[in-house]
Structure 1
Amino acid sequence: AAVLRADGLPVTIGGVEKMSKSKNNGVDPQQIIDAYGADTARLFMMFASPPEQSLEWSDAGVEGAHRFLRRLWRTVYEFKNSGGTTAAFGGSQDALGKELKDLRHKLHSTIAKVSDDYDRRQQFNTAIAAVMELLNQFDSCNRNGDTSGEQGRAVAQEVLEAAVRLLWPIVPHICEALWSELRPSETLWAAGWPQADEAALVKSEIEIMVQVNGKLRGKITVAADAPKGDIEAAALATEGAVKFMEGKPAKKIIVVPGRLVNIVV
């Protein structure tokens, strides 16, 4: 559907144009609402630019916002239709496999970030981006079958409930509808704002990059509390380190905690 400017002239499809009073090229939100719905209009405007900055108009951006909302809708309904809803996860992190642990870590990191973005930072575009990243990781786990089974579905329920609650201030209409599917007997008002689970924010394993003479040659996964000696040994044993060290001994091994190991030869 074509989107019209306030003066009645069409905005070039796929084009980007900065709106200003001097150009008399403001876009009537009603045109977006008629074509895509009010939630798409709200999501696009909040995602396209921080509220204190000028908005660069993009037809592709409007369409992208609409695609994301359709994706969210489809994800919730596919989950529901695949076997019904279940109680959200409420057990111990230790009972989960690595992928589900990582998904819950992403979920509760997202809750903490979005809460801070709304409250202290007032950066709504980054809040939306964080929920998009969460859904990307959820989709990956879903494709790999990690959300099947009782525990997997419980974590999936927790993720989808939180995504709907986090987006509720921006796209209230679709979120109310989706919440009624996820929690038919409870309103969003009664559910309140999601709270980050501190236990889920603690990662038991971390990924560390391995460099040889400052160039990336691989990565390792180690326990979050692994001693320095174990990290060095794991880095030296990687295929990339063995190949690019070319049989030479390490002159120095520099460990940057939680980030990387640089082997100097």
Structure 2
Amino acid sequence: MSTNRRDFLRNTGFAAAALSLPFVGKSSILDELAYKPLGSFGIQLWTVKEAMFADPKDTLTKLASYGYKQIESFEGPKGFFWGMKNTEFKKLMDDLGMKIVSSHCNNTVEFERKSAEAAEIGMSYLICPWKGPQKSIDDFKRFNDEFNKSGEIAKKNGIRFAYHNHDYSFKVLDGQVPQVVMMEGTDKNLVDFEMDIYWVVAAGEDPKAWFKKYPNRFRLCHVKDLTKTAKGSESCQIGKGSIDFKSILSEGSKYGLKNFIVEQEAFTGTNPMESAQANAGYMSKFQL
């Protein structure tokens, strides 16, 4: 339940009313009070990258019509503003009733400029999306210095820097877990993390345990479901896979998780835009 005073008073008032009712139906009313709507949710544009490359304005218009209020972009050939100036892109977002909250980008090239442009239009995060498997744990330790430096640049400009995981950072290397090395070797005042829940589960890890172990470090997440295939696993429409988002997102929200961003990378039996619409339908009904 929300700790907001207004919500608390409202909910406790409803609860008192529910308790005054006859026993029949009381539990269902209290069950509803135990949950709260997810609120705004976003989509990582990589999910619909082909459509974005073909016609970004039309694609974003459709995503807005599906119910997405937030987007997370990625850095392509035309940058993460898709060939538009940052202020032009913000106007498009405003016109659509959307907000660009974050973007994946290369944090080793012109990061000062990128941070300034992102901050100017009210973005919250720039995110390093990939480092790849490394030869030694020392490589990951070197990333800590890079991430702290990027975090300093981002903070100076008024935004935050984060790192997005894949499964490789959970695989033991030289007797250590790279994800632990990065989380404990970066300054919590400068560096946050975006949990890709799919990749955590694919690595055989429990997302809830990571939220608990590192409170207020995972500020964003990718809501991406997992289904088993003959070759291993792949992502699928949310709710059609095996990941228990109800318990995971509820737990994450207790430990600082704020941004819920849809992502899907495989589209068996459907196409990316159809899946984006279906995923928005799932998220719009989701309750923490």
What's the TM-score, normalizing by structure 1? 0.29
Higher relative contact order (CA 8 A, sep 6+): 2
Work out which of the two has the higher radius of gyration on C-alpha atoms and give 1 or 2.
1
Q: TM-score, normalised by structure 2?
A: 0.27
Instruction: Point out the structure with the larger strand share.
Output: 2
